[in-house]
Copies of this chain bind each other. A is one copy, B any other.
């Protein structure tokens, strides 16, 4: 469960965007989806993910719904209206970051 130093600071952006794209999801489901989308390059750790979900909820960006699956508990997270706005902002910020870095590093990425 590790990845490059570059991933630091991307967790909230990732969580907000996958929730925007997929509606409600639970924590474990987010880790598996991100693992799949990233072709095993981004392996979210629970120690980072759960506190982040709790924090985003405390900030009013996510709302939760607890569902019992047999004797097991699942906690679904979905974006609030504020969360949707934040998701958009964060993705824009990321795209801007890529453009800036591309200019500094002289790599052609941003079209």
Copies of this chain in its oligomeric complex:
2
| Chain A interface mostly | helix
A-B contact pairs, 29 of them (CB 8 A): A4-B93, A4-B97, A5-B9, A6-B9, A6-B94, A6-B97, A7-B9, A8-B8, A10-B101, A14-B104, A14-B105, A17-B104, A17-B105, A21-B106, A37-B103, A38-B103, A39-B100, A39-B103, A41-B96, A41-B100, A94-B101, A94-B105, A94-B107, A98-B98, A98-B109, A108-B111, A109-B109, A109-B110, A111-B111
Of the candidates A38, A100, A103, the one having the most CB atoms from chain B within 10 angstroms of its own CB is A100
Q: Are B5 and A106 within 8 A (Cβ)?
A: no
| Alpha-carbon distance A8/B14, docked complex (angstroms) | 16
